[in-house]
Amino acid sequence: MKKKNRMSNVVLPCEIIHENILTRLPIKSLLQFKCVCKSWYKLIRTPRFVKIHSDQCKNDPKFMLVYSTKDDGVNVYSLEYGENHLINVVKIPFFGFQFHRILGSCNGLVFVANMGMMYLWNPSTREYKLVPFSPQPTKSATSSTYGFGYNAITKDYEIIMISAFFSHQPYYSRYNIYSLRNNSWGGTFQDMSPYVETHDMGYLFNDALHWEGTRCQSIIAFDIADRNFREFPIAPTSEPRFLAITMASINGCFSIGIHFRFGVEIWMMKDYGVEESWTKMIKFSRPRPRPGSNPISSVLKCFAMNISTQNMDMPAACTLEELLSKLGGGNKKTEQLIAKSFSATMYTETLVQLQGHDEDDDDVGQFQLIC
């Protein structure tokens, strides 16, 4: 009896509770624990706790898909791989918001847009922030593209807007940057020497945002911290004429899907930035796409997630249907979501806040578990 009482009086050190137990819990549980006491509420908001928890979640990524039907309209789903393919409906907290397109994601935050409105959104905490309208460079700007990432030097999340100008020869681009911390855009647009194709959004890899270069012949990378652009050639595909490229990360390597009329090649750059390191992974054929339908972007991103997290074996060549069957794991609903989604991204759970944190939060050290 005495032995039982001794065990019931054991108190775990705060360090173990904070860094070895709480940081391993899902965000849904942590948000409930924020009501336990003030010290836990402050703890969960500290940058140190947020980083440790985010690092734990990196090994368990989720796949977000935007799917549309005539009957149900636009819906967003979260796909979790594992023993069971879990498909969850993601609730959109924006009042009256019809989800249109995912523009990017970084550290669990998702950048989305619809009808000219742009939002930064944490799907795990359901917190969101309306991004103010960006200034227009000039009336002659024809189209724009965006990218979203994290500046490790300033420790700030940033959106880069690149506008293309077609009214002059040669074509050129200009860019402007939004700061989440300041909730504002830069005062003026900056000139940039490389020309960027604006039909797709910037892909974040290795702390840089990537776009197609002129006529898909190169890739333009923008280093978020250094504010420098650089250019490197795309993979040496066997077919010189292709429609577009899609970017992804496979096993930690920068990768692209090269779209041909009736097929796609997936290439991996094993040594980032080195042209000679391009390696072909798989080629799959596809039927002629229906008007307004292009599932290849979602297929490539789902393929990248499976290869990177599930160690999935893939043949060197297959059809789109065979690839979808492999990615869906025999689950027809999963296959349908991947095949017919028009926007997708990979993300992880995070406690990163969009409204900023209190200055006092940075100084929180050890806590007594007394409310």
Name the CA dihedral angle for 145, 106, 45, 34, rounded to a multiple of 10 degrees: 100
- State the chain's mean pLDDT as an integer: 78
Which is more confident, 360 or 10? Answer: 10
Q: Are 350 and 49 in contact (CB under 8 A)?
A: no
Which pair of structure tokens corresponds to residue 47?
A: 């940058």
Q: Beta strand pairing status for 203-205 and 190-192? A: unpaired
Distance CA 277, CA 136 (A): 39
Predicted pLDDT of residue 253: 93
Which is more confident, 229 or 330? Answer: 229
Residue 287 has pLDDT above 90, yes or no: no
Distance CA 293, CA 287 (A): 12
Q: How far apart are the first and last CA of the chain?
A: 30
SS3 355: coil
Edge-to-edge order in the sheet of strand 62-69: 86-89, 73-80, 62-69, 343-347
Predicted pLDDT of residue 284: 84
- Outline where DSSP puts E strands in 24-167: 62-69, 73-80, 86-89, 101-106, 109-114, 117-122, 127-131, 141-151, 156-165
Predicted confidence (pLDDT) per residue in 28-68, tens digit: 888 877 677 777 778 888 888 888 888 888 878 888 888 77
Residue 220 has pLDDT above 50, yes or no: yes
pLDDT band at 305 (very low <50, low <70, confident <90, very high): confident
Distance, C-alpha 255 to centroid of its chain? 15
Which is more confident, 329 or 270? Answer: 270
Predicted pLDDT of residue 84: 62
Please tell me the pTM assigned to this model: 0.82
